[in-house]
Amino acid sequence: MVYLIIVLNVFFNSLGEVIHTQQLDLAGDTKGQVQMPFAKPGLYFLKMHTNTGIYTTKLMIK
């Protein structure tokens, strides 16, 4: 059985403003890559909405 995992990534800047959204459709336990062509050096937050919950992480771009 193959599971479809839908991930909605929402990127925020350090002021809490949404700067980019991205949806990934993953099948099974495939790993996806997050593309950040908009990213300049700085602090970002990534909120991932998945089938199993919502996860938030900090990203530092140098």
**pLDDT tens digits, one per residue of 14-62:** 899 999 888 887 776 666 677 777 788 999 999 988 888 899 999 998 8
How confident is the model at residue 2, as a pLDDT? 60
Amino acid (one-letter) located at 13: N
Residue 6 CA to its chain's centroid (Å): 11
What single-letter amino acid sits at 24? L
Is residue 4 over pLDDT 80?
Answer: no
What is the pLDDT at residue 26?
76
> pLDDT at position 45, please?
93
Does pLDDT of 12 surpass 80?
Answer: yes
Q: What is the reported pLDDT for 39?
A: 80
State the total domains in the chain: 1
Range of the domain at 30: 4-61
